[in-house]
């Protein structure tokens, strides 16, 4: 499957805010966004122009898509699924993205970033309800249990991630049992639980054109 392989810091600079694509490394003083908080390219620092409504909507879509590490076709698929569901399309979209297996692993602190979570899942380090699942896009539901496999619990990258999760915290709709390397999805989040700096309605407006 195709994936983005260029510098993650370029994406943060293009969107004008930290997307924390590298996890806790984004807190470092060496973070490129801290040193060059302007758009990439030869004219990123000096070139300013008025942004149209379309441009604003596009940037919001790109920001959300990049935050969850998706390519355009996959992201659009989530939008179409959200649009078919009952309720508010923008909220449905955010909840679908939050339900992704790689996002849940990141939220629980089993990985330092969604990128790292995706790699760990692909390498079969986790169980869902006692069964091995290696699909990062797998959608979890309320009541599901995520467990780190017995043989993977001493991995340095997992232990380091679990030590640093206190910095960002675990959402209240997830129940983490650090001692037993497992967690339960207590409930699915509602819009008020999702504090990312995104305006999902702009994404809806963009795709509704």
Per-residue model confidence (pLDDT) at position 168:
78
Q: Identify the H or E element spanning 127.
A: strand 126-128
Per-residue model confidence (pLDDT) at position 27:
47
Helix (H, G, I), strand (E, B) or coil at 10: helix
Burial-class residue 120 by CB neighbours within 10 Å (0-12, 13-18, 19+).
Answer: buried
pTM of the model as a whole:
0.80
Within 49-150, where are the H helices?
53-67, 72-84, 89-98, 101-107, 114-122
Percent of the chain residues past pLDDT 90, beyond the cut: 68
φ, ψ dihedrals at 107, nearest 5°: -60, -35
For 11-65, what is each residue's pLDDT tens digit? 555 556 655 555 555 445 555 545 555 555 555 555 556 789 998 999 999 999 9
**Cα(76)–Cα(70) distance, rounded to whole angstroms?**
10
For 168-189, what is each residue's pLDDT tens digit? 789 999 999 999 999 999 999 9
Per-residue model confidence (pLDDT) at position 1:
43
- Concatenated DSSP letters for 38-78? S-SSTTTTT---PPPHHHHHHHHHHHHHHHTT--HHHHHHH
Instruction: Work out the number of other CB atoms within 10 angstroms of the CB of residue 99.
Output: 20
**Cα(203)–Cα(207) distance, rounded to whole angstroms?**
6
Pick among 3.40.470.10, 3.10.129.10, 3.10.290.10, 3.20.20.70: CATH of 100-185: 3.10.290.10
Q: Which two tokens stand for residue 162?
A: 């679990």
Which residue has better confidence, 110 or 42?
110
Domain 8-41+51-97+195-207: give its CATH code.
Answer: 1.10.1050.10
For 112-167, what is each residue's pLDDT tens digit? 999 999 999 999 999 999 999 999 999 999 999 999 999 999 999 999 999 888 77
Cβ–Cβ under 8 Å, residues 116 and 131: no
- Listed by start position, the domains of the chain span 8-41+51-97+195-207, 100-185
Q: Which residues of 83-95 are buried (b: 16+ CB within 10 A; e: fewer)?
A: eeeeeebbbbbbb
Cβ–Cβ under 8 Å, residues 57 and 200: no
């Amino acid at each position: 499957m195709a994936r983005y392989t260029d510098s993650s810091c370029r994406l943060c600079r293009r969107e004008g805010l930290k997307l924390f694509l590298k996890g806790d490394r984004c807190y470092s003083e060496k973070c490129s966004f801290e040193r060059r908080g302007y758009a990439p390219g030869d004219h990123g620092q000096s070139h300013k122009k008025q942004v149209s409504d379309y441009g604003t909507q596009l940037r919001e879509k790109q920001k959300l898509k990049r935050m969850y590490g998706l390519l355009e076709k996959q992201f659009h698929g989530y939008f179409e699924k959200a649009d078919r569901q009952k309720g508010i399309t923008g909220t449905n979209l955010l909840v679908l993205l939050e339900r992704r297996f790689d996002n849940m692993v990141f939220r629980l602190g089993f990985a330092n970033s969604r990128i790292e979570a995706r790699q760990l899942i692909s390498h079969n380090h986790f169980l869902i309800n006692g069964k091995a699942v290696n699909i990062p896009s797998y959608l979890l539901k309320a009541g599901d249990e995520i467990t780190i496999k017995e043989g993977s619990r001493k991995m340095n990258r997992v232990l380091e991630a679990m030590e640093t999760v206190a910095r960002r915290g675990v959402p209240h709709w997830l129940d983490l049992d650090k001692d037993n390397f497992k967690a339960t999805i207590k409930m699915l989040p509602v819009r008020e639980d999702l504090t990312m700096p995104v305006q999902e309605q702009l994404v809806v407006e963009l795709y509704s054109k």
